Amino acid sequence: MNEFRARLEKERGYLLRYAGLQLRDSHAAEDAVQETLVAALAGEASFAGRSNLRTWLTGILKHKIIDTIRRQSREAPADADSADFDALFVENGHWAQPPGAWADPDASLEQQRFFAALQACLERLPGKTAQAFLMREHLGLETGEICKELAITSTHCWVLLYRARMALRECLEKTWFGTK
Amino acid sequence: MKLTCKEVSHLVSQGLDRELGWGERMRVRIHLAICNGCTNFKKQMDFLRRAMRELGTRP
């Protein structure tokens, strides 16, 4: 095995976790990572001179993930229309229960258990909602690109992102911040 | 026109995805100045973004 290939292999675990978070399907994640490593091997010359192998690989992987999403989203059904969190608000648009402050959220970011809780909350999101949210917050795509890949309007896109954030807020409050 | 908390919650979320118009920004700011619930909500939304960044870059 040459030295470059060995360095690529060392990144496989990270790339699998990265792809798995977005795709929520271990086979699809493995395929995307495999394609990435093959492409990287063929493109060794274009890496030459760049400082960070992981950043370069993640860039390639993002494209593979988007290809996969594009294929999947042709087949994926729309999420059942969840109530738009209307129950959180009373008739005049005020909070039924105003959000309280979360205690020392920064300390949570130091804890492994917090990220397990966050991941569990992400897994509970409906398919399309999770897909849009992860494309935005995990892959870091702009809303315009997300709309294009999922073939939805920007208004629909904002609604999906809103639903994801509302659901995650509620879930984290129940499973993490509310228990402290 | 004054915004309701529900409208503010939508605009706070959209503010993470698009640039809000000047009028929208002003009305949200005025609302946040007098509303604890929405101020907490906005902090939670900002926190969620930071948490996702961390999650994505963890070794």
Per-residue model confidence as pLDDT tens digits over A163-175 = 999 999 999 999 9
- The reply to whether A70 and A93 lie within a common domain is no
The C-alpha angle with vertex A117 and arms to A112 and A123, in degrees rounded to 5, equals: 125
Say yes or no for a CB contact (<8 Å) between A169 and B48.
Answer: yes
Binary contact (B40, A102; C-beta < 8 A): yes
In a domain, A112, yes or no: yes
Does A135 reach chain B within 8 Å, measured CB to CB? no
B7 in reach of chain A (CB within 8 A): yes
Q: How many domains does chain A have?
A: 2
Give the domain-ending residue among A75, A110, A137: A75
Tokens 């963890």 correspond to B58
Q: Looking at the predicted complex, does its ipTM rise above 0.90?
A: yes
* B1 neighbourhood in chain A, CB within 8 Å: none
Q: What is the per-residue pLDDT across B8-56, written as a single tens digit (0 to 9) for each?
A: 999 999 999 999 999 999 999 999 999 999 999 999 999 999 999 999 8
Contact status of B46 with chain A (Cβ, < 8 Å): no
**Scanning every residue of chain A, which has its alpha carbon at the shortest distance from the alpha carbon of B5?**
A94
Contact of B12 with B42, CB cutoff 8 Å: yes
The vertex-A25 CA angle with A167 and A173, nearest 5°, equals 20
Residue-range definition of the domain harbouring residue A149 = 86-179
Final residue in a domain of this structure, among A75, A98, A131: A75
Contact B17, A161 (CB under 8 A): yes
If asked whether residues A101 and A59 sit together in one domain, one would say no
